[in-house]
A and B are shown apart, each in its own frame.
Chain A
Amino acid sequence: MNLRETALDDMDARVADTGTHESSAPRRHVGRSMQRLEDPAILTGRGRYGDDIAVKPGTLHAAILRSPHAHADIVSIDTQAASKLAGVRAVLTRDDLRPWSRPFVVGVKSPMEQWALAMDRVRYVGEPVAVVMAESRAIAEDALDLIKVDYATRDPVTSIEQAAMDDAPVLHERVGSNVISDRNFRYGEPEAAFERAPHRVKLVAHYPRNTCAPIECGVVIAEYLSGDEGFDVTSNFMGPFSLHAVMAMALNVPANRLRHKAPRDSGGSFGVKQAVFPYVVLMCLASRKAGAPVKWVEDRLEHLSAATSATARVSTIEAAVEADGRIAALSYDQMEDVGGYVRAPEPATFYRMHGCLTGAYAIPNLLVRNRVVLTNKTPTGLVRGFGGPQVYFALERLIQRIAIELKLDVLDVYRRNFVPADAFPYRAAAGALLDSGNYQEALRCSLDEGGYRELVARRDAARNEGRLYGIGFAAIVEPSVSNMGYITTVMPADARRKAGPKNGAIASATVSVDLLGGVVVTIASTPAGQGHMTVCAQVVADVLGLDPEDIVVNVEFDTHKDAWSVAAGNYSSRFAGAVAGTVHLAATRVRDKLARVLAKQFDCAPGDVRFEDARIFPHDAEDRGLPFARAASNAPHWAPALMPEGEEPGLRETVFWSPPYMDAPDEQDRINTSAAYGFAFDMCGVEVDRATGRVRIDRYVTVHDAGTLLNPALADGQIRGAFAQGVGAALMEEFRYGADGSFQSGTLADYLMPTTCEVPDPLIVHLETPSPFTPLGAKGLGEGNNMSTPPCIANAVADALGVEDIRLPLTPPKVMAMIGMDDPEPSRPEYREAPGTKPATPGGGRALTARGVVDLPATPEAVFAVLLDPKALANVIPGCHALEETAPNQYRADVTVGVGMIKARFEARIGLSEIDAPRRLRLAGAGISPLGSARGSGLVELTPQGSGTRLTYDYEAQVSGKVAAVGGRMLEGAAKVVLKQLFESLGRQAAGEPVQAHGSWIARVLARFRRQA
C-alpha cells in the first residue's frame, strides 16, 4: 500500500548526505528559549526596514494609478496634465512596456498575458494602469488625479460559479475560457472503493478570499543603471527566488543584470510579500522611463485592494466510508479563484498541498479534479498556510460530517483513520512521503492535557441551561520545505517530459571566520520577523562551541553576493527544516576544517579535536587548548603555511543542501510536495451568544509535532501568530467585493483582523518526533494553525448550532442567521418602511439601492419641466459646476458629490430616458473621479399630491474604486443622502424657491423636508 519499505531501503543512503549522523558537540543552545538577538534594535526604533533605507540623492517617488473598475477596456490614457505638474518627472504608461518588457511567465501553458501594467484591458479593481514619478509622493499622487483614463466597462465575473458558466464574460479572449486549467488525478482504485463502501459522505465547502496582512506593506527602490548594466533593486520581496528569474525575464535582461537586495528587517510577510515581485518589475521600468532611481512604498489601500489574496475555493469533497468510519476513498472536486490573471507561482495554491491531500489519514484511494478559474478580482498568491486552509476546511469539516452521519464519536473517526505511528515514513496516495509523527499520541495529549473531559462537562452544563456550546476538532498535516517541482504537477506527464524534470528545495548558508576569529553567518532566507538570526546563532554556537551572542548573523540578501538558488527565500516554513539545517552543515564544515588544521598542531586525530567554551582542544588534553578566536584565525588567515597539505587558506564555507526524496512528479502524478510534514491536532470549545450570534472561544488547545524544536519560545510565538490569523479567518477576515466587482475592504476598519482583545491565549502542547530527512530533525510549524484553526472553530460552531453548511468568516450576523431570530412586526404598519434591498445579482454581491419618497411643493408638470430644462437641471443637481448638453436629454456634467466633509468631484454623464411626461422618467448617471467611479440609474415617478407632487424614486447604484474600498459602512447611507439632496433640490427649483442657499444649505433643506416614514 505505501512505499515504506522502499523508502527505508534507501533512506540511509540519502540521509547520509545531510550530515545528521555525524557526532557533534553537545547541544547547549539549540532547543532553548533564547531571547531574540533581533529585538534590541527593533525595540529601540533602530530596525532597518525597506522604507528606512537611505536612497541616492535624486531618487524619485512613484505613485500608481489604479483601475477603479473590475473589468473594462482602456480606451485612452491622457497624461498631459499630469506631466505638466511641477515636480513630476515622468509618467510610465502601457506604451512604454512593449519595447522594454515582456509578459510575466507562469506555470500554466496558456496564451494569457499579464504585463506590469494593464495593456488593453483592466481585470480587477486596483490593477496598475500608469505610474507617476515625481519629486515627492504627495506630488506624484496629485498628478494621479490629473491623469484621464477613458474606460469602457465590461460585465465582471465575480464568483467561481459564475466564472465557470458557459455564458460568462471571458476575461482573456485568447484563452477563450475562464477555466484556465482543468486537471484530473487518480490514485489507487477510487471508483471501486466508492462502489464497495457502505456509506458515502459528501460536503460542499466554500473558502473565502482573505489574507494575512503584514504591518509593513511593499517597498521597492529600483534603479536603471547606465549602459547594459541592467537594474539594481532593493525591495522587501522575500521569495521564492525562483521568481527572480520571472522578474528578469519580464525585464528582458539576463538574471545577472537584475541585482536584488533585501533589507535586514521586515514588518511581516506571511507569504504575502511574494506579491511585491510585479512591482519590482514595474519600478525598474519606471526608473528606466524617469532616468533616475525610483522609490515606491505601497500604502494600505493599495496593499489590501491589489497586492494579493488567498484563493477562494469551492470544494465538493466526498468520502467512501466503511461502517466503522474508516475512509476507503476520498474525492475532491475543487474550483479555485485565482483572480484576473494566473500570476506566478499560481496555481501553486492547489499543488503545494497536492501530495498530502489525504491529510493525516491512511486513505489509499484518491480522486482529484482541480479547476483554476479566473475572476475579476486581485490575483492570488502566497498567504501563510498556502493551500492548506482551503484543503483542510473541506477535509476537516468532512470528518465531522462522517461522525455525525454514521453516528460515531468523531474521535474514533480520527483514531481509525490516522496514519499509524509505526508506518512512518508513510507514502500518501498522492505522493507525500510523511517523514515522521505520532498522530495518535498527539490526539491523546490533546485530550489529556487539554482537559477534554472538562470541556464536555462545560458543554453539557451550558446546554442544560439552554446555551449554545460546541466542541470542535481539527487534525492537519503541516507541510514544510516545498519541493520546487510540485508546481509542475499542473502539467500533464507528457508535457513534463518535454520540459524536463524540476524538483528539489535547495537551501544555502555560509559561515565564515574573520581575522580575529569572529564568526559571520549569511543565509539566503529573507526573514520576516521569525527570529532567524537568533536560531542561526544558536545552531552555529553549538557546532563551534561559542556563545550565540558572539556570532553575527547577516540576513540581508544580495543576489550578486550571496550563495542562493531557486528555492531561496522565506516561505513554506522552510527555515527550521532547511535553512537552519544548512547553517548547521556549513558550521560543521568550518569546524571540520579547523579540526583538521588543529589536529596537525595538537598532533591528534581530527575527530579528537573538541570545540567548547570558546576554546579548541584535544579531547584528552584540555590544558593544551587554544582560544577559538586565535586558533580559528591563525592558520587560515595569518599563517597559511600552517595549513595542512591540500587545505585551502581562508575560512569560509558555503553549503548548498537539498532534502532527500524531493523528486519530480512521477508518471502517475505522484509528488512528494514537501520535505517534511509536521502535525497539529486542535480542540476547542466555543459558546455562541443567542442574542447576538457572537462566537466566543472558551478554550483552545493546539498540539504540535514539528520534530525537534530549535527555540521553543520562537516556536510558541509562531503558533500564537498563526492562531491569531486562524481566528481571524474563522470569524472575521474576508476580502469583500460588490456585485460590480468593486473592492470593499480597503481599510483595516473594513478588513477586520482580530486584535489582542479578540484572541484568547491557546494552550500549546508540543511533541517532538524528529524528522529523519532534515539535518536538525526540525520541521516547520508556523503555518499549522492557519490550516487547523478555521475548521476547528467551524466544527465547534457547527456542533453548537447543529448545522451543516458553515461559511467563513463566521461573523455575528451570519451566525445569527443560522440560529434564527424573531423579528416581530411593529405595532403600527407605518413604522415599517418599504424594504430597500434587491435580490443579489448573478455575481453574488449586491448593488447599492435606494428607494424613497419626497413630497415636493410644485406640480408634476413644474417638476418635469425642471428635469427637461438643462439650465434648471444644472441648478438642481447638488454641487453641479457645469452642465453641457451633448445630445437631446444627454448631458456632460462636472459635479461635486458628497456627504459632510467627504466630497468627490465627478466628471459625469447624465441621461434622461423612458420619458413619460409628467408621470415618470428614468434618470441615469455615470461618473468618474479620482476617488473612483459611480453609476446609478433609477426610475422617478411623479404623482399629484394636493397642490404638490409626491416623487418616488427607486435607484440602483454601483460605486467602485477608492470610495467603495474605504467607504464601507457609510456608502449605503451616503448614496441615499445624495439622492435625497437631488430630489429635494428638484422640488425647490420647481417651486421657484432658491436652491443653493448660502452656507449649510444641505442641512436646511433636510431640516425643512421631514423624512418620510
Chain B
Amino acid sequence: MKPAPFDYLRAITAQDALDALAQYGEDARVLAGGQSLMAVLNMRLAQPKVLVDISRTAELDAVRVDKQAGHLVVNAAATQGSVEWRSTLADEAPLLAMAFPYISHFQIRNRGTVCGSIAHADPSAELPLVLSALGGDVMLRSRKRRRTLAARNFFQGMLMTAREPDELVEAVRFPLRKPGERYAFAEFSARHGDFAIVACAAVVTDASIRIAVGGVADRPVTEQWPRLRGDDLRGALNDLSWKLNAQDDAHISAKYRRNLVRQLGWRVIEEAK
C-alpha cells in the first residue's frame, strides 16, 4: 500500500502554497494533517502529481478569537487538537467543544486539521456539520484573490466543495457563542470515534431552532424553525428525516437512518432547551 509517485513541496510561507496551487491546480493537493489524504494516497484512490505541505507553514498555524467580528478563526495548519484544548473553547464555541470528542480519536485530532476536514467535505464528518449549524464561513485565498463563502455555499456534495483548484482554504470562522443561544450535539456511529451514521447539532433560542444533520445527505443540511414543541416538533423532524433522502446501503437502511434523525434530532433539541 504505497502511494503513486508524486512531487512534494513544503510551503515555508502561505505565498509558497498559493504559488504552487496556481501552478499545478487540479494536479496538486494540499497536505495539512494528512489524516484523510494519506490513507487515500496510500490506497492510490487519489494520485495527485504534487503535494503541497502546509503543516509547517508557521503563518497558517494560528487560532484566534476575533471578538469584534464575533468569530473563532482557525487557520489552515491549525490542528483540531490545538482548538479542542483551548481552555476557553467551551465559552467561545460550545457546540464545537461538544463535537470534538466525537471526531475520531485523540491521536487523530492531534494531527488532523480543522480546515483539512472542512476542505475534505466528508458528509459524515463532524466539523462541516458544526460549521453549518453555526452558520460559519470558509475563507478561500488564491494568488489572485480572497473570498469568503458561507458554509452552505461552500459544501456542494460528497467530497465536493466550491473551492477552486488554485485556492487554499486559508481559514474557517466559527461564530462565537451568542447570548440566548443554547447548543447540543449528538452522534450515532458504529464505534466511538467512527464517522457518524447520523449526527445532529442544534442551536436553540427562546424563539427559534436551528438544526443541522450530518451523515445522511451528501453534505450537512441545516434547517431553521420557529421554537416548535411537541407534535409540531416531531412532525418537523419527521419531514426533515424524509427530506434528507436517506439511502439504503449494504449495512444501513434508509428507514433506520430516518429513525436516527428523529431520535437524535429530538434529543439535541431537548438538551439545548
Contacts and interface: CB of A to CB of B under 8 A. Distances in A.
Interface string A547-579: 000000000000000000000000000000000
B60 to A, nearest CB: 20
Nearest to A1011: B245
Contacts of B254: 835-837
B160 A899 contact: yes
B259 A823 contact: yes
Given A826-B242, A904-B45, A299 B247 contact: no
A74 interface: no
A939 interface: no
B170 interface: no
A902 B159 CA distance: 9
Given A846-B250, A969-B195, A813 B218 contact: no
Interface residues of A, number: 69
B3 A1006 contact: no
Contact of A752 (B40, B190, B245, B259): B190
B40 A1007 contact: no
Interface string B1-40: 1111100000000000000000001000100000001011
Contact of B158 (A137, A831, A974): A974
A755 B245 contact: no
A796 B255 CA distance: 25
A694 B163 CA distance: 38
A828 B240 CA distance: 11
Nearest to A973: B158
A641 interface: no
Nearest to B122: A970
A536 interface: no
A904 B47 CA distance: 9
B43 A301 contact: yes
Interface in A894-936: 899-904, 930-931
Interface in B123-153: 123-124
Interface in A988-1013: 999-1000, 1002-1003, 1006-1007, 1013
A736 B45 contact: no
Interface in A946-982: 962-963, 966, 969-974, 977
B159 A972 contact: no
Interface in A812-830: 812-813, 816-817, 821-824, 826-828
Contacts of B45: 902-904, 931, 963, 966
A540 to B, nearest CB: 40
A977 B160 CA distance: 10
A817 B243 contact: no
A431 to B, nearest CB: 41
A141 B2 contact: yes
B270 to A, nearest CB: 12
Given A736-B250, A755-B191, A817-B253, A1003 B259 contact: no
A827 B258 contact: no
Interface in B241-273: 241-243, 245, 247-256, 258-260, 263
A1007 B253 contact: no
Interface in B22-72: 25, 29, 37, 39-40, 43-48
A833 interface: yes
Contacts of A495: none
B162 interface: yes
Interface in A112-162: 136-138, 141-142, 145
Contacts of A837: 248, 254
B81 interface: no
Interface in B166-223: 188, 190-195, 218
B249 A972 contact: yes
A972 B251 CA distance: 11
A21 interface: no
A900 B253 contact: no
A833 B241 CA distance: 12
B238 A901 contact: no
A106 to B, nearest CB: 31
Interface in A207-232: none
B164 interface: yes
A316 interface: no
Nearest to B42: A299
B191 A1002 contact: no
A831 B221 CA distance: 14
Given A732-B190, A827-B239, A813 B249 contact: no
Contacts of A142: 4-5
A692 B190 contact: no
Contacts of B239: 826-828, 831
Nearest to B236: A827
A977 B259 contact: no
Given A732-B190, A817-B253, 6 more contacts: A138-B5, A812-B190, A900-B158, A931-B45, A1000-B160, A1003-B157
26 contacts: A138-B5, A692-B260, A736-B251, A752-B191, A757-B192, A813-B253, A816-B256, A817-B253, A822-B259, A824-B238, A828-B239, A831-B243, A846-B248, A900-B121, A901-B29, A901-B159, A902-B40, A902-B45, A903-B45, A962-B43, A971-B249, A973-B123, A974-B158, A977-B157, A1000-B162, A1003-B161
Interface of B: 1-5, 25, 29, 37, 39-40, 43-48, 120-121, 123-124, 156-165, 188, 190-195, 218, 235, 238-239, 241-243, 245, 247-256, 258-260, 263
